[in-house]
Each structure stands twice: as C-alpha cells, then as structure tokens.
C-alpha cells in the first residue's frame, strides 16, 4: 500500500534553544540525543528553594512535573508540516484484521519496541472530516452550557464611627441590583440539552444508602451504571456508541477519526466524566455507585479514590455519613511515607481505598528510578486490578505529560471516572488527557490525532469540529448546573454586594504615586516596541506587573506594599542575576506569581506556563523545558546568564503574593489600620449579630490574613484559619471547629486553597477582600458555601476601593463573563493576539 511519507513534525520543546539575539556559536554543548532527553525528563526536578512544606514525602514533590518521552508526541504538537509527498511501497507490511477506508489518511510510526518485530510499523488513523449528519446523531441534540445565575448588588457605604457600629441593613440600604452571571443570556442555547437531561432514566435508590438521593442524582447514578456497562451498536443500525458505528456485521467505523476495524470489535471505555456544578453531590453519586454495584453483586474488587490531600478525609467522612452503619463500606486511607506495604489481598479486604496524587505518582515513578516500575507489582496500588478508579478534582491530570497524568493512566481498573466541575480550563488540550485516561478508543487517545481533528479545527472555528466536540462530550460527560429547573435544588437565595471603600488622604497619596509610576511604565513599554529593544521591553513589562501588584496590595493595607520586588529588579538590571538568599527567593517568587497571573507563556515551547519556575536572572519557564536547556547549555536561553543546574530554579510560593513575615514585621498595636480593614471589621461585626451567622473571609494574600486576624480577635470574634502553609490535619481541625463550635464565627481563608474541594456550608456570608481579573476561582470559592447542604440564605460581599484598580477589575470580570460561552473555542487569534490581550487588560486597569 502507498505510504503518505513526507510529513515532518514541528519543532518541539525537546530541542536546545537560544532565544537571545546573540550570534555566538556555543559549540561546547551539543544537541542531546533522544535518550538523554528522556532521562532528563525522568529525574526529579523539585527546587531546593521552594518554600512548600508537606507532611508526606510523596506529596512534597510536584506531580505536575513533566516527563519526557521519545515515543509519545507532546500534547502541544497540534499539526504536521507537509514537506512533500512520495509514493512508495512499504516492504513486508501486514495489517492483519485492520481496515483502511478509501482516501483515509494514516499515520505510520516506527515501533522499535515491538516484541515480535523491531522494524514493525504501527498504523494510526486520522480523520479527513466526517459528515455533519453522523456527528449530529451522536450529540442527540445536546448543546454546551455555561455558568449558573446569582444576584449581584452594588452598595456604597462610608466607613462609620466605631461607636455607632452599623447594622447589616445599613450596608444594604440604597443598593442597586445587577447580575454578573446573567451578562450572557444562554436560556435558548441550553433549552434542548436541559430537556434531554431532564428525560434521563432514574436508577433505584441503593439499599445501602439511607440518604434519599434527589431525582437528578438518581439519574446520574443510572447514567454511570450504563457507562460502566457499554454495549456495541447492532449491525446496520443507526446507533452510535462511543463514536463507533457498525455499517455491517464485521466492520466498525469511528465517526470522529474514520478509524475502521474489520473482523474484530473495538474496545469500549468504561467510565466517563461527571462534571456537575460544584455543590451538586458528585461525591454522594460516586458513593451510591459503589453501593449499588455492591448490591447488584457485580463488584470486582475495591474502588480506588485519588484525591488532593486536603480533601482525602472528606471521602471517609462522606462514606460514614451516607452508608448504613449495619452494612458499612470498609474504607482505608493509603497515604503517607510511613504507609503499610500492602499486597493485592490486603487491598481486596476493603471496599474503598483513598489515596493522593502524590502517593500514586511516587509508586509508579519512584525518585530512586529513572523509569516507571514494571507492572504488575508485588505491593502497592499497581499490584491489582481495581473495580474502578475515581479521580477527584480530575482536571489535575489535564497535562498528559505530567507525573500525575502518567501514573493515573497506568492504573489497571475495570472503569475509570473523572470528577471535575471544570473539564476544560486553559484549552481543549486539557480534555485530551481526560479522554486518554478514560480509555476512549478509535484514535482520539492519540495526541496527534486529537489535536488534528479537534484542537486545531476548534481554534479555526470549523463547524464540524464543534459538532465533534458536542458528540464527544455527549458520549463521555454528564454535566448539570445548579440553575437548571429540573435539578430543583431549592437552594437558599444567594445575593452578592459590592461595598465601596474610600481611602484616607494618606492612603490615596500612596496609591496615586503607584498609579503614576504604572502609567509611566506602560508608556515606556509602548515606546520600546521594536525588536531591537526586546530586552528593555521585557524589563519594562516586568516592572509594570510589579507596580500593579503593589497597587492592588495598597488597596488592602499600605503595610503590604513593600519594595522587595523593586529592589530585586534593580539588582537584576545591575548584575544580571542574583544569589538565592531567602529574601531574593521570596522576591523571585513574587515576580513569578505575577507572570502566572498575567498568563505568560513558556518562551521555549511557546505554550502556557506548565509547572512554572523562575531563574536567578528573573526569567520564567516551564520546569521541564528549562531543565533540558540547562542540562545541555547551562545558560539561560533569554539572556545567556549561567545556570548551574535545575536546583537553581525557584518554584512558586505556597500562597500567591505571600510574604507574611515581612509584611507584618513592624506591625504592633500602635500601627495605623487601613480603610479596607476597618470596613471588614464593621461588616463582620454587623453580620455576626444575627444568631448562628458565620463568615468566611477570603484573600489572595496570606500576609493580609495575618494583618486582620489579630484585629478580629481583639474585637471578640472567634477565628480559625485555612491556608497553604497548614498540614492536612490542621486544616481538618479548623473545619471541624468552624462547623461545630458556636463561638467560632469567622474563618480566614486563602483563596487558592479554599476554592477547591471543601464544604463550608457552616457559613452563610462570604467576604472577598480582593479580586483579580479571572473570576472563576472566586466563583469556586463562593460555591464552597452556597451548595447542596446549605440551609441558610447566603450573602457575598466584595470589598472594592473606589476609583482604583479594583473597580476596573470588576469591569474586566464582567467582560470575561460575557466571553465565558466562547472561552472553550479560543477563536483563531493565536497566542500573539492573546499576549496583546494581557497588556490590553493592564491598559484598562490604568485608564
């Protein structure tokens, strides 16, 4: 058969790259061989300078570290470049029972590790573009969905005299209502899908679950039971199962990729993605699935739950709460460096085993070895076949080349499940890793094919690609929203308010000075637009982000506005690189956080920053990319500053913008307070006057929580705390105290830590002390309080300084919410346009 030769890959990030304009030929370092690259990617790259702490060695490393592979094409390779076509015969080719459709494009890949023939060529199918009619059949009328609705109200109250403490009604009086989550009218777009979801069949209430499941949860249970027992379509029927159709008795064709099989059946995936809104009971539905499976006597071993460390205890608590005590499910937590060595028979004595992503990757990719372990093992997670594996917060594996993703895909299980409210976060490439984990066959589990039939066409806005996405999601994903009428949660009301804060004359003077500096930096950035001014432009942009950080911090408390980062950049301008002293490490971490927030790209692979790090010379990279460059060149590709090894890279701080020790070093009882802190104290005091009222105070900065906590305690409020510096056990104790102790009325929470996986329904009021232009993480934090199990009306307050960057941030959030329905599409603008969008946001903040 003729081979479609001549397809060459784009340059990938495995190459040695010098991004400077220096023409010097650095010949002492040669390009690495592929084997060397693979070994480099497999070694531990955790930074010695990282301030992250952990109670378990397994989770101290970074499961998002990328692993190189010479056999797998990276997910960021989205296309092939056609250099030419040559017709040739492939000697000795045998396709056995495979079938190539007429004019079907195929990918031929050498298979040097084939156990029968090291010269074997693997054939992989690729779609030419399927007919829209077939894709429409697979979607079954379903359409895409967006976010639920709440009420947002604007209130303007001046901070009053402490002697005349205001009531909560004083804060609300005169407010004008507006609704940020209704900026996009999506009712008509979703009507067909909502009707379809409403009509889904219901399962019977499992005997082992005394908690009465809501109708939509019984529908979710029925859907999961069906997905664990899929059936191939009948011959000649119009049925499409997991994108496979059966045109004749002995032939199957995948409508997405045109991959065809003759004389053999395709392998069907068991499992899927449960992507219900936060607070709709995904955990309870999985527990019900385990219980129903046990009742039906179809159990084939224990269920493995993989979860972030912070929510592991929630699984055992929820099982205990919802399963009959007379017939309990036996739960075991397999976690920690001192965990017992367990064999297959030991695990099979339990119904549910809970572990962490860190433990999973530590067992499959141990630090002592450069290669994955051989499967199956005698001990540990990989010693048996599990009944099912469930990934809680499954978007954790969205990058398929990370340790977490590779380790999860290696688990042998009858069914694979992903729980996430956000299956796509950055781009459609996030979805590929979930598809691969679930085990969908037909070619979409290959990065090259997934990117060529879905990711790239979606960026180009091709209609067929949209239909394919809908068909794919209808096949593997179930998502219900809280605002859907048939869900009928009957949640208490949620009202959101903006409380405007007036700065004092002294605070305004500090803020105005910073704003003037930022506007000057922006002008300098625009002036340095030419390619010859590249280095100056980068320095100016970096300075602009730093000043913007200080503007945001001074809105909270003037004491947070330190000059540490500015001093660092002055040092970098003079010396080009800095020593990794504790102070410089913290400054570099602040600078790195700015790049993360502003959606910088890795300059090596030109992709989103993956496992971001910063060098002592102040440049940002994805860890795996810069580690490979260091191994071969020992120089920064941006400025050619010397880099000894990957241990000189600095990782992000635990909490963004965190500098608790420096920010409050000089704070004492005589330190002047800030206008926002005064507003916060009065708002808390007015709220907790109501019997049973409790408040969660969110901030991006742990340092600000350190400033306000003693003020709240001095005012007589019982406080607990959750932030990134606390071990899991201490966090659990804080949650218990907040839920059970009436005198504990305030929880101080780091936004990044508490936006995921926690139940904060003991509170009825949320106070957001600060905001940034991406609203999704704030919405997640609010949903920790306003969710299933909440019995009280809820209120959200956003503290916003008048005539400041914070007011303009809300405008940017408004615009981004209107774009949310289009966020998954990404348009055809490309990365360069997106980069200009970041500067555009900054310009809007400073106008």
Q: What is the dihedral of CA 748, 753, 759, 764, to 10 degrees?
A: 40
Beta strands, E only, 275-314: 303-307
Predicted local distance difference test score (pLDDT) of residue 315:
93
Which residue matches tokens 């397999």? 334
Pair 594, 735 in one domain? no
Give the CATH number, domain containing residue 521.
3.30.40.10
Residue-wise over 328-361: b if at least 16 C-beta within 10 A, else e?
A: ebebbbbbbeeeeebeeebbeebbbbbbbbbbbb
How many CB atoms lie under 10 A from the CB of residue 573?
A: 11
Task: For residues 393 and 408, give the distance between their C-alpha atoms in angstroms, rounded to a whole number.
Answer: 13
Q: For residue 840, give its domain range.
A: 151-185+491-498+667-846
Shared domain for 727 and 842, answered yes or no, is yes
72, with CB counted inside 10 A (0-12, 13-18, 19+), is middle
Report d(CA 646, CA 350) in Å as an integer.
Answer: 42
For residues 66 and 623, is the Cβ–Cβ distance under 8 A?
A: yes
Give dist(CA 255, CA 750) in Å, integer.
46
What is the rounded CA–CA span in Å between residue 274 and residue 283?
A: 10
Assessment of whether the complete model's pTM goes beyond 0.85: no
| Cβ-contact 69, 41 below 8 angstroms | yes
pLDDT value for 99: 57
Q: Are 713 and 576 found together in one domain? A: no
560 lies in the same domain as 673:
no
Instruction: Say if residue 518 is in the same domain as residue 567.
Output: yes
How many CB atoms within 10 Å of residue 721? 20
- The first and second tokens of residue 524, run together, are 């300098």
Neighbours of 630 (CB within 10 A): 24
- The pLDDT value recorded for residue 585 is 79
Cross-strand bridge partners of residue 755: none
- Based on the domain organization, do 552 and 679 belong to the same domain? no
Q: What is the mean pLDDT of each run of 10 residues along the chain (847 residues)?
A: 39 43 42 37 33 49 56 46 61 55 57 62 47 56 41 40 57 46 35 78 94 94 95 88 90 88 92 89 95 76 91 90 89 86 92 94 81 88 96 88 90 95 72 93 88 82 81 88 82 89 87 77 66 59 72 84 57 65 75 66 70 84 83 82 82 56 39 84 93 92 90 94 83 91 94 72 94 72 86 92 83 57 35 43 58
Q: What is the pLDDT of residue 784?
A: 87
Residue among 708, 583, 703 nearest 650 (CA):
583
605 with 675, same domain? no
* Residue 808 counted as domain residue: yes
| CA dihedral (710, 589, 656, 732) positive or negative | negative
Do 673 and 744 lie in one domain? The reply is yes
Burial label, 531 (beta-carbon count in 10 A; 0-12, 13-18, 19+): exposed
238 is written with which tokens?
């119009």
In a domain, 302, yes or no: no
Residue finishing a domain among 611, 628, 660: 660
Residue 235 resides in a domain: no
Give the CATH number, domain containing residue 770: 3.40.50.300
Q: What share of the chain is helix, strand, coil (3-state, %, to 5)?
A: 40, 15, 45
In a domain, 412, yes or no: no
- The neighbouring-strand residues paired with 450 are none
Quick check: is 57 in a domain? no
- Is the domain of 585 the same as that of 532? yes
Closest of 468, 389, 481 to residue 428, by C-alpha: 468
Among residues 634, 660, 686, the one where a domain terminates is 660
Query: Pick from 660, 675, 697: which residue ends a domain?
Result: 660
Q: Which of 423, 479, 431, 474 is nearest to 277 (CA)?
A: 479
Count of domains observed in the chain? 2
pLDDT value, residue 566: 54
Q: List Cβ neighbours of 232 (8 Å cut-off, separation of 6 or more).
A: 241, 244, 246, 252, 265, 266, 268
Cis, bond preceding 376 (omega within 30 deg of 0): yes
* Same domain, residue pair 631 and 764: no
- Do residues 526 and 588 both lie within one domain? yes
Query: Could you tell me which of 818, 812, 801 has the C-alpha nearest to residue 837?
Result: 812
Distance in Å from the first CA to the final CA of the chain: 63
In a domain, 582, yes or no: yes
Tell me if 67 is assigned to some domain. Answer: no
Is residue 619 domain-shared with residue 730, that is, in the same domain?
no
Is residue 789 one of the residues assigned to a domain?
yes
């Amino acid at each position: 058969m003729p081979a479609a030769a001549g397809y060459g890959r784009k340059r990938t990030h495995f190459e040695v790259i010098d991004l400077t304009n220096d023409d010097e030929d650095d010949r002492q370092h040669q390009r690495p061989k592929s084997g060397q690259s693979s070994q480099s990617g497999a070694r531990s790259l955790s930074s010695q300078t990282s301030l992250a702490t952990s109670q378990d060695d397994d989770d101290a490393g970074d499961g998002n570290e990328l692993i190189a592979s010479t056999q797998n094409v990276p997910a960021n390779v989205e296309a092939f470049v056609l250099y030419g076509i040559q017709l040739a015969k492939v000697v000795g080719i045998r396709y056995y029972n495979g079938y190539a459709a007429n004019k079907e494009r195929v990918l031929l890949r050498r298979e040097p590790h084939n156990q029968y023939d090291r010269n074997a060529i693997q054939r992989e199918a690729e779609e030419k573009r399927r007919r829209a009619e077939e894709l429409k059949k697979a979607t079954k009328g379903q359409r895409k969905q967006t976010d639920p609705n709440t009420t947002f109200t604007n209130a303007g109250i001046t901070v009053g005299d402490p002697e005349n403490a205001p009531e909560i009604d004083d804060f609300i009086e005169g407010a004008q209502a507006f609704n940020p989550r209704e900026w996009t009218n999506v009712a008509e777009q979703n009507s067909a899908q909502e009707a379809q979801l409403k009509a889904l069949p219901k399962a019977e209430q499992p005997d082992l679950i005394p908690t009465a499941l809501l109708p939509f949860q019984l529908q979710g249970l029925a859907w999961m039971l069906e997905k664990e027992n899929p059936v191939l379509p009948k011959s000649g029927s119009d049925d499409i199962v997991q994108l496979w159709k059966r045109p004749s008795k002995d032939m199957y064709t995948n409508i997405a990729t045109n991959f065809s099989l003759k004389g053999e059946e395709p392998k069907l995936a068991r499992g899927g993605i449960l992507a219900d809104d936060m607070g709709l009971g995904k955990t309870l539905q999985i527990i019900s699935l385990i219980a129903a499976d046990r009742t039906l006597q179809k159990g084939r071993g224990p269920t493995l739950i993989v979860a972030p460390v912070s929510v592991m205890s929630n699984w055992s608590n929820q099982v205990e709460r919802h399963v009959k005590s007379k017939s309990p499910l036996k739960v075991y937590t397999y976690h920690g460096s001192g965990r017992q060595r367990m064999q297959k028979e030991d695990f099979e004595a339990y119904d549910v085993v809970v572990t962490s992503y860190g433990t999973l990757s530590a067992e499959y990719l141990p630090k002592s070895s450069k290669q994955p372990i051989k499967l199956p093992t005698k001990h540990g997670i990989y010693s048996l076949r599990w009944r099912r594996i469930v990934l809680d917060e499954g978007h954790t594996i969205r990058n398929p080349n990370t340790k977490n993703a590779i380790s999860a895909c290696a688990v042998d299980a009858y069914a694979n499940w992903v729980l996430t409210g956000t299956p796509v976060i950055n781009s459609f490439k996030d979805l590929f890793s979930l598809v691969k984990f679930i085990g969908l066959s037909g070619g979409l589990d290959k990065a090259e094919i997934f990117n060529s039939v879905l990711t790239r066409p979606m960026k180009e806005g091709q209609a067929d690609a949209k239909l394919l996405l809908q068909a794919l999601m209808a096949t593997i994903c179930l998502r219900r929203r809280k605002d859907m009428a048939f869900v009928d949660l009957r949640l208490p009301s949620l009202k959101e308010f903006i409380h405007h804060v007036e700065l004092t004359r002294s605070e305004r003077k500090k803020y105005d000075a910073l704003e003037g500096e930022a506007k000057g930096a922006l002008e300098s950035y625009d002036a340095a637009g030419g390619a010859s001014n590249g280095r100056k432009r980068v320095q100016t942009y970096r300075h602009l982000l730093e000043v913007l950080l200080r503007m945001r911090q001074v809105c909270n408390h003037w004491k947070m506005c330190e000059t540490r980062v500015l001093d660092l950049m002055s040092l970098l301008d003079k010396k080009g690189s800095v020593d990794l002293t504790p102070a410089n490490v913290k400054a570099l971490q602040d600078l790195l956080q700015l790049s993360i927030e502003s959606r910088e790209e890795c300059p090596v692979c030109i992709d989103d920053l993956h496992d971001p790090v910063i060098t002592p010379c102040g440049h940002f990279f994805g860890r795996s990319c810069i580690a490979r460059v260091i191994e071969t060149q020992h120089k920064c590709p941006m400025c050619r500053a010397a880099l000894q090894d990957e241990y000189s890279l600095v990782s992000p701080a635990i909490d963004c913008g965190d500098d608790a020790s420096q920010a409050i070093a000089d704070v004492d009882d005589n330190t002047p307070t800030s206008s926002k802190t005064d507003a916060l104290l009065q708002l808390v005091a007015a709220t907790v006057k109501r019997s049973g009222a409790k408040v969660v105070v969110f901030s991006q900065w742990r340092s600000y929580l350190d400033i306000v906590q003693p003020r709240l305690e001095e005012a007589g409020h019982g406080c607990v705390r959750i932030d990134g510096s606390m071990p899991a056990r201490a966090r659990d104790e804080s949650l218990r105290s907040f839920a059970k102790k009436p005198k504990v009325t305030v929880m101080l929470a780091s936004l990044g830590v508490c936006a995921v996986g926690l139940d904060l329904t003991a509170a009825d009021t949320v106070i957001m002390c600060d905001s940034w232009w991406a609203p999704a993480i704030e919405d997640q934090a609010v949903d920790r309080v306003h969710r299933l199990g909440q019995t009280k009306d809820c209120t959200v307050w956003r503290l916003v300084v008048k005539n400041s960057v914070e007011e303009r941030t809300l405008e940017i959030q408004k615009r981004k919410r209107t774009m949310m329905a289009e966020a998954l599409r990404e348009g055809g603008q490309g990365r360069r346009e997106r980069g200009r969008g970041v500067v555009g946001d900054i310009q809007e903040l400073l106008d």
